[in-house]
Structure 1
């Protein structure tokens, strides 16, 4: 038994802010958990009171709060386990039979990313049938007979008309990989994996940068995370590259290589493995900022760096193995945190309400906890664990999100109030708590191995004056035993003994290098400047921006300027943007990009002919209008393939994306290589969008659903301009 003096010393060193085994105080309020002899619990807090029934799985620690919240998470999961789902945008809101998980109290439907992250966070262990059923619900064949047939993971309705503006549907495979013991499901997974990866390679992969285009995963309220000028024009997002989405593609490629090998297709396995290795190298080359010691959340379509970061992308980079060694440790250590927990984005936006902005999301905290375990960071492990516990205890449910500073479910700040939406028993938050217990504390890995990594600072809370704690699961019991003498700062597995369905882990203390949590970061990004203006004279291209700014040209940081500067006219006409910088060197969002010179304009009917004035690389884009849906949602982003044939050279094919628009605007661009004096002909071929999937015949929230496939836009001029972009 540990001495009272030893326990007091540990508690003081941990900075436990007066937590006890039963209570969690916070900002003048308190949550209190009471355990009953029959396995029931009662939680009291600012929300009122919640009675929690005894559950089939239980943790047995010194903390009724920890054990009771584990029971509450199971109760939340039971309420999320349904026989039918519904959403106002599908089947006119009528119930759709599905023995699966719904997303939360306010989200009674199945969404690809929500379900997939929830399953990856361990729900596959707790109810594999519902997990598989939900994933199968988000799998679809093709209803458009003119399109190549296949089986695809679905991108949900979203920015600018869904895929390929948002491209994180591959998260489906992060979940599916845990459920391959069912042969019929495994066969569907392999087929869908091959088809989905091939489609993404064709339409979203940029061979110049070696990355996949598309929006940040889960952070899909564009004004919260992207520049304000994307509110009504998401073409930049479609052209850009996100860390999280590229890491998800890396993981999907790794899975594809493994499954192809198991299917005896060595050539395909080698091809996927090579693509995965190349993508990993590209992510590390393009997203890493040496001056910050962090991975950027996203970069522009020309590779322009954005001084913005997100916790999910960072954590996924670490847990996937994309980030390794010192980079992995630095990326997590340099990501800022606040007393209540870690924000999902940083820096925050001073002009945006609370949702992704200024917010803690428990499921992201759970991925940060996984990353902290991987790099052996006891301070971060303890911090994320306490954040997950505190939020659930003070709100009486596993909520969708919390305000960053107060960890409240609502803060009244007028038009900035929020979280704007905050659902109880949000599925991925429920999964986060269950994973925090089973893996975060008891060390149960996905392959069944037991690998606890328990910060010494958590011993007073979890062990009290006990020498062991245990976790009772459906088919096994895990017991962690303290060493006779506590030492080091992290408790890990020593001797492991198996006996009669019980795994007993004798813990041992080790010393690991730690970095204090980063708590000194500024909260907000500085304000964004106006767009530069460009003019030409005998000195070159004159770039003017009001005030002191940082100038970027053609994806490269030019440096600080005050009022104006010149870019030599000898090269291609530049495309420029600007940021402002605060006293600590943190940069704002970029201004809109402005390009010098006038593009050559081809109008008339297709096909269109053009003779290149000089050898080199050119950007090609279309002027268009797509009024098939609003900017935030839908399935009718128009996707075409622009085919350029120059003389006898092989045709060059570039995908063109035309998201929902407000009036006329420019599409995404492709880059082609041409020789001077050679005539080229352009043709526009049909592409693929989410309305082509059979599942979306149930979509009644807009065009491209029950009324049939819609993949078009009003196409105007073809614009061609020389570019400095190199292969």
Structure 2
């Protein structure tokens, strides 16, 4: 039997204007009402939420829109706490912090969640809590013998955290909005210098001009990386991600600006040079011309992956890394479904719903920002509606939604999901606030007002009204319709400011706008098994799992059906394979099979080896690291391999040994040697997150979460053979 509320809702659904007093979606009707005190009641068949009047208000033709703005404020109030907690820190006891917790199910502060949320506008709503949270994610060093400094923290994560994941520089994305506080600005400048220098030393690959490490936020690797990375994260540590490199670009840009403010012309010039070179490298290596999009990540040897993510693309557009036609094209070519835009594409048919086959509101807000920059009205409207609809359907700003239905949970057996979904998730709350302030009212960070409002949203927002208004604490913004609404985009015609009130008279324009891409296949093919390779006279016989596309040293070798023969060439030959479907869409890559002469050097350090020929060599370590689970911890072993070959300058190579479940190979570096020269290899300590003082509070090392916390810093692995192999004459690039 239906409740009285549900019965009333069903009766109202036949007459309620869409997006005014409610909305309908997949057979569910959501209704909203408002009383004279500006309290809202949001109701759906199985529940309701009463939202008290909030200090900030919108006045539009849509009580639903106005109520959802009030609900976002109420969610933010609930996320505003005096203490945080997590089971892995301080034994789960409360930690004092006047800051934002991450969500109902995540009552802690995480670097990327907070930083993205602040960048989406929380700096405007509560700068003090925003700063406090960011300061909580800073740390100095507790190891006296290690380089001292102030660093942004990489949270516990894949393979033992940084430098498998290297997106901690997202911290600066949030911090850049809060520099009016002099003490905090001083910390930001120092942290920029220390963190960027450390990333340059351990995560930067000079040959590619890119920073290594995992995609930002997409850190459940089996969802987005090949399935075999479930227990092999070295590939991720060696690879390059679009989003993480764009974040480094933005950090370098900020560093240059702050160096100017500190009258350090030399440092500013250096940062700008590095930023310019990084932008060029991103465009050279991630752009996929046949797709008209930037790839999500590429392999450590440059192997292209037919995989894309919306956050990376949106950040590339918003940062200016993607400019001109590429900026417009990469966003226009990214697929959309009626419920919203997926965070990755294509989806994985063998993975549950979470990052896979999902909509994340904060990513939608970044896509909205990119769509505003490139003036794509269809995408602007699509992202605004997606964020608002999700919040309305579930009475809170949820962490994520299933892509096809925008459900908060879809039952599909072992593929059910989203696997985790938290109400009032902080960056989703920030997304809802950004939809209102930026997406509809056009409020920029500098206080200017630049609306880019699709005319398709006029019926929802204006109805029979001529004006809509946003009331903030320190100002009021009013948008006024032109006498005639035509075209596809409303932009500012005249702007008048009097005191704290800004009134914008809009004008309608027609801008070029491709329709949303709705014809993309949902799933990629399943990746094949690794190629089998055996010696065959003067060559290699390669066997594969049916029809595949074969890659050799990072480049396409060709499409084969079951087997092929390769001529044996000098240097290491590394092969992987993909499946290609009827649409021409490639699977993720199989594991890589490498063949060629490899020297194994064991014994005590320093170890010696004699180069058989002049050239470049690849070097790695056989190792095991059981100091934590594959998916978390802070004890990735990070070392510096010192290579000294007769007749050559010393060469220093960062080597990363992530948590492992077996003996395996570390990340690799390359060095040059002359024929007959003796090379001596020494392994020096590097730096990992357990060296940071903050992680003295990490108490999971007393349980199943790993080491390196309250028991003390730990940067060790069990090292076996040193593996040296000649490299082919040219390094593979996409």
Normalised-by-shorter TM-score class: over 0.9
Runs of 5+ unmatched residues, structure 2? 1-15, 702-706
TM-superposed CA distance for 1:47, in Å, is 4.6
What is the Cα deviation at residue 539 of structure 1?
Answer: 5.1
User: Which residues of 2 match residues 284-299 of structure 1 at below 5 A?
Assistant: 284-299=283-298
Offset at residue 18 of structure 1 (A)? 7.1
Contact 1:29–1:46 under 8 Å retained in 2: yes
Match of 1:432 in 2: 431
Contact 1:617 1:726 in 2 (8 A): no
> What is the Cα deviation at residue 527 of structure 1?
1.0
| Counterpart mapping for 1:386-425 below 5 A | 386-425=385-424
- 2:648/2:673 contact within 8 Å kept: no
Provide Cα deviations, 1:535-593, integer angstroms capped at 9, x if missing partner. 23345222221210001110111121111223332332310100000000000010000
- Aligned residue for 1:231, secondary structure, equals helix
C-alpha displacement at 1:20, in angstroms? Answer: 3.6
User: Offset of 1:433 from its aligned partner?
Assistant: 0.3
Map of 1:711 onto structure 2:
715
CA distance in 2, matches of 1:110, 1:522: 37
Alignment match, 2:7 = none
CA distance in 2, matches of 1:284, 1:37: 54
**RMSD, aligned CA:** 1.0
1:720 is displaced (CA, Å) by 0.3
Aligned residue number for residue 265 of structure 1: 264
Query: Deviation of residue 297 (structure 1)?
Result: 0.3
Is the Cα–Cα contact under 8 Å of residues 572 and 597 in structure 2 kept in the other structure? no
Q: Following TM superposition, by how much is the alpha carbon of 1:675 offset from its aligned partner in structure 2, in angstroms? A: 1.1
Q: Distance in 1 between matches of 2:665 and 2:545?
A: 26
**1:303-318 alignment, distance < 5 Å:** 303-318=302-317
Query: Closer, same or farther in 2 for the Cα pair 1:18/1:651, shift >3 Å?
Result: farther
Deviation at 1:723, TM superposition (A): 1.3
Paired residues of 1:46 and 1:395 also in contact (CA < 8 A) = no
Q: Which moved more, 1:540-549 or 1:691-700?
A: 540-549
In the other structure, the counterpart of 2:594 is: 595
Residue equivalent to 1:79: 78
Structure 1 residues 170-195: Cα deviation after superposition (integer angstroms, max 9, x where no partner): 00001000000000000000000000
Equivalent of residue 723 in structure 1, options 714, 720, 727: 727
Q: Distance in 2 between matches of 1:164 and 1:573?
A: 26
2: distance between equivalents of 1:18 and 1:316?
A: 36
Q: TM-score, normalised by structure 1?
A: 0.97
Partner of 1:5: none
Residue 28 of structure 2: aligned partner: 29
After TM superposition, the structure 1 = structure 2 runs for residues 4-43 of structure 1, keeping only pairs within 5 Å, are: 19-43=18-42
Q: CA deviation at 1:487?
A: 1.9
Question: Paired residue for 1:102?
Answer: 101
The verdict on how the C-alpha distance between 1:20 and 1:202 changes in structure 2, with shifts beyond 3 A counting, is closer
Instruction: Quote the Cα distance in structure 2 between the aligned partners of 1:445 and 1:46.
Output: 38
Residues 155, 162 of structure 1: 8 Å contact kept: yes
Match for residue 134 of structure 1?
133
Partner of 1:463: 462
For the residue of structure 2 that corresponds to 1:179, the secondary structure is: coil
Paired position in structure 2 for 1:671: 670
1:80-229 matches, within 5 Å, as 80-229=79-228
Contact 1:624 1:713 in 2 (8 A): yes
Q: C-alpha separation between the residues in 1 aligned to 2:572 and 2:78? A: 59
CA 1:379/1:725 → structure 2, altered by over 3 Å: closer, same or farther? farther
User: Is the 2:647–2:677 contact (alpha carbons within 8 Å) kept by the matching residues of 1?
Assistant: no
**1:534 to partner: Cα distance:** 1.4
Deviation at 1:331, TM superposition (A): 0.6
Which residue number corresponds to residue 253 of structure 1? 252
1:685-700 aligned at under 5 Å gives the runs 685-700=684-699
Secondary structure of the structure 2 residue equivalent to 1:634: coil
Q: Which runs of 5+ in 1 are unaligned?
A: 1-16
Note the C-alpha offset of 1:602: 0.1
Give the SS at the match of 2:231. Answer: coil
The Cα of 1:98 is off from its aligned counterpart by 0.2
What is the distance in 2 between the residues matched to 1:212 and 1:615?
28
CA drift at 1:304? 0.1
**Which whole-Å CA distance do the structure 2 matches of 1:46 and 1:88 have between them?**
35
Question: Are positions 1:583 and 2:582 aligned together?
Answer: yes
Distance in 2 separating the partners of 1:663 and 1:564: 30
Aligned partner of 2:517 in structure 1 is 518
Q: 1:355 maps to which residue?
A: 354
Moved over 3 A (4+): none
Question: When the two structures are superposed, what TM-score results if normalisation uses the length of structure 2?
Answer: 0.96
CA contact (8 A) 1:208 1:726 kept: no
Is 1:66 aligned to residue 65 of structure 2?
Answer: yes
Whole-Å Cα distance in 1 between the matches of residues 669 and 533 of structure 2? 23
Is the 1:223–1:352 Cα contact (8 Å) retained in structure 2? yes
C-alpha distance in structure 1 between counterparts of 2:500 and 2:284, whole Å: 47
Q: Which residue does 1:283 correspond to in 2?
A: 282
Give, in whole Å, the separation in 1 of the partners of 2:550 and 2:649.
Answer: 38
